[in-house]
Structure 1
């Protein structure tokens, strides 16, 4: 993997050297696949070697928030008509506007620009977030309901799952997603596992039983 990433980042020696030097001693907490996974893993390993994981994570979240608020930034990242050189020259000024960033973060975005991968920025940032959650032994818990749940109800769901084997002893990051078309009940997503207790799901099963019986 080191050689594969090295081929992608020959234009940014610092990030490449950081990854290559640390590849044998530092490993990512989980294995991610795809191009975004490779970039995120390379950045994670390089940042871990420099004890800059939290700083780089903050940089990426800051840039993501900046891009979400400014449509022109999002348009720039996606623009296929700009040359790689133009994107590399422009990304530095954008990073400066989003706030002071670590050199690894700067070199990382320059790498994406040089390799024509800036449109993948959001995916890479999300993948880096997955690595950081795994690093902190966290597990995402998304509870989907027809109406917003109060904090007490959400806590009860989280507490019940925290005690179960499904939580794998990890710290749960709880969020509530509202989706009226489930009609009622809950859809619980814990990491890559899901428990469907929604009314819409039960009605779908009932309708299938009725149609199969006719």
Structure 2
């Protein structure tokens, strides 16, 4: 619902970071800030509390991050706090990363298999996906014990399901259709 808004915030931050030649630094700092928010339940509770003023919340962020992150990034965080969107900072980080990768003609994806891919299998897969999408592909590998065999790929929000599980499901559905 707020994807458009998150993207607008991210686009504005990206332009600032790009001007300062600090896109990777901003991404790294935002990732760390999101980790702090995810892991610190007391801080999260303070940020959610309706009786704690916006100025107090900004003061907390100032105490935590001033001098440790770029002033422009801290100002961005203040704006996000003022707009009541600080609890959704990770979405802005994700959008910022997406914008940055787009600029680099790069996409991210995930591949799931029952057993780890060999280096050659991984390299071959990345090469095929790069040809298909005409972009550099960053591929995260995950082991999924629920997969009987085959490979499951999610890249650029497109699913390529070559698992035995999927083939079994398709066969089952076809047989059920024929028996009706």
**TM interval, short-chain normalised:** 0.7 to 0.9
Alignment of 1:1-150 (within 5 A): 33-96=3-66, 100-150=68-118
Deviating above 6 A after TM superposition, structure 1's stretches of 4 or more consecutive aligned residues are none
Q: Deviations over 1:122-178 (max 9, x none)?
A: 11111111111112221113111123333332222112222x2x221x211111122
TM-score (norm 1): 0.73
Report whether the alignment pairs 1:196 with 2:157: no
Partners of 1:120 and 1:77 in 2: how far apart? 11
Partners of 1:81 and 1:182 in 2: how far apart? 48
Partners of 2:94 and 2:11 in 1: how far apart? 11
The 1:33–1:80 alpha-carbon spacing in structure 2 relative to 1, beyond 3 Å, is: same
Report whether the alignment pairs 1:209 with 2:177: no
Contact 1:182 1:201 in 2 (8 A): no
**SS of residue paired to 2:140:** strand
Structure 2, unaligned runs of 5 or more: none
Contact 1:84 1:115 in 2 (8 A): no
TM-score (norm 2): 0.86
RMSD: 2.2
Aligned pairs, number: 178
Structure 1, unaligned runs of 5 or more: 1-31
Q: CA deviation at 1:77?
A: 4.2
Q: CA deviation at 1:76?
A: 4.0
Paired residue for 1:173?
A: 138
Q: Deviations over 1:27-50 (max 9, x none)?
A: xxxxx9522111111111122223
**Residue 187 of structure 1 is aligned with which of 143, 152, 157?**
152
